[in-house]
Structure 1
């Protein structure tokens, strides 16, 4: 059944949204722009220093991981800020050591790798949905801190963020995905399962955080019922957690553009030009 547009409802929702914005003591767009400038400075430092950074994003479904990662990466180079969002493992990968396919994506010098979901799939969806045995899940929880210790000891900066969202807010976001064609792709069968099995996932995540929070790789919890506040807080924390310095930009000398050659003749062959539909 198609959703009927209700102008009164939409107007009320817009008015409520604007009211919330006015009540904030800070300007989201202005603060986000400032932080994105700092992310550009971080990028320059990482490239120059050869630093290696890993940022893990985990959390509840519909907690805003995708939006968070988008705001971090939309103004920087994908060659430096590399996002890793692995699909379900192939039969070949299933036969490998569990951590093997994640190790292949760890950063080289001058890279920041952002994991949109990570090896912690083993402690979350794999465990709850029965994709691995309880014995394998427990073994993962025991080994993960040692695996991360090896990463940190090699000189990699490792940050782990877990985004939380309340039951009512998650339900609202799921319903919005159902009603909005441009968001429907975000609602997977696994999301539906996570909605129905809220408390199974709660128990799994509680144990995961308890057993894998360590001094060398602590979990940082990001309350995300308010997406804008979550983004500002998380990006600010990320920047404060990395000891970067501003690198002076060496502006290139563009020089002079060459003159049109006297023997150049405009090409007269037929070309297919995209029609202008804006007039």
Structure 2
């Protein structure tokens, strides 16, 4: 991405909040109209997918918008049609599903690390566009985002995680392996794009060396591609008057178990 000034924090937070309010409006439209929306997040390790997903879903209803981040397949799932375990997580009417990595694992980590055979990889590249066209033909809105990060920025983020005990869990040996296999992942991504960047479900690349820009750009783009409107907003609610007491009394405190007042220790 060309050099650009970093968005000031206050301006970023203000615009992020505005976009998140629009996401809530979009969610209500999806729920009210029975639409189905799938958003695929893919990209390099430490490219900022997870933090962007957090901002997307921060104010959304988890009963409407849910995140799918599948673990490694079980032995039984390895014996299924490759796309089968993803199909069961697709949205029903009125739902939004965000895939934190998706069926594209086969085109990336499985391809590079040898977790699938060349024939399985070739079959995936053939079947994936067919699979996605079927989803779109059935009425699912499918959006695919690739988060692109430079090798230098990725390494800096890895080092930051190594030194931060609160984020150390984000690193795995597989993540670190991606440093030495940078070019292999690049070639795999390029091949994947050639086969799966289709008119019905195009790839959208998010420059993510600057996380603030990446989040704003991705969310703004997603909103621009969904034909939502505010007419589906629920009617305003009115807080009812509290009725007069009918004699109820709370039981004495010593009859129940209360958590210790840890907060009080901060005031001592």
Q: TM-score, normalised by structure 2?
A: 0.93
What does residue range 18-33 of structure 1 map to in structure 2 within 5 Å? 20-22=6-8, 27-33=11-17
Match of 1:274 among 237, 243, 260: 260
User: Unpaired runs of 5+ in structure 2?
Assistant: none
Deviation sequence 1:181-239 (CA, Å, 0-9, x none) = 11100001110111111011111011001110000010000010001001100000000
* Kept after mapping to 1: 8 A contact 2:65/2:95: yes
Whole-angstrom CA distance in 1 between matches of 2:172 and 2:259: 38
Deviation sequence 1:101-135 (CA, Å, 0-9, x none) = 00000000010100000000011001111110011
Match of 1:87 among 48, 53, 71: 71
Q: Secondary structure at the match of 1:27?
A: helix
Whole-angstrom CA distance in 1 between matches of 2:100 and 2:76: 22
Whole-angstrom CA distance in 2 between matches of 1:143 and 1:200: 22
What displacement does 1:138 show?
1.1
Find out whether 1:212 has 2:196 as its counterpart: yes
Whole-angstrom CA distance in 2 between matches of 1:273 and 1:124: 47
What displacement does 1:88 show?
0.3
Of the two structures, which has the highest relative contact order with CA contacts closer than 8 Å and spacing of 6 or more?
2
What displacement does 1:147 show?
0.3
Find out whether 1:257 has 2:238 as its counterpart: no
Whole-angstrom CA distance in 2 between matches of 1:53 and 1:266: 46
Runs of 4+ in 1 over 4 A off after TM superposition: 19-22
* Kept after mapping to 1: 8 A contact 2:29/2:233: no
User: Unpaired runs of 5+ in structure 1?
Assistant: 1-18
Find out whether 1:231 has 2:219 as its counterpart: no
Match of 2:119 among 125, 135, 145: 135
What does residue range 57-206 of structure 1 map to in structure 2 within 5 Å? 57-206=41-190
Find out whether 1:44 has 2:28 as its counterpart: yes
Deviation sequence 1:122-174 (CA, Å, 0-9, x none) = 11001111110011101101110000000000000000000000010001000
Provide the aligned length of Structure 1 versus Structure 2.
258
Whole-angstrom CA distance in 2 between matches of 1:164 and 1:248: 35
Find out whether 1:240 has 2:224 as its counterpart: yes
What displacement does 1:270 show?
3.9
Whole-angstrom CA distance in 2 between matches of 1:236 and 1:70: 15
What displacement does 1:259 show?
2.2
CA, structure 1 residues 59+147, in 2 after alignment: closer, same or farther (shift >3 Å)? same
What displacement does 1:20 show?
4.2
What displacement does 1:257 show?
1.7
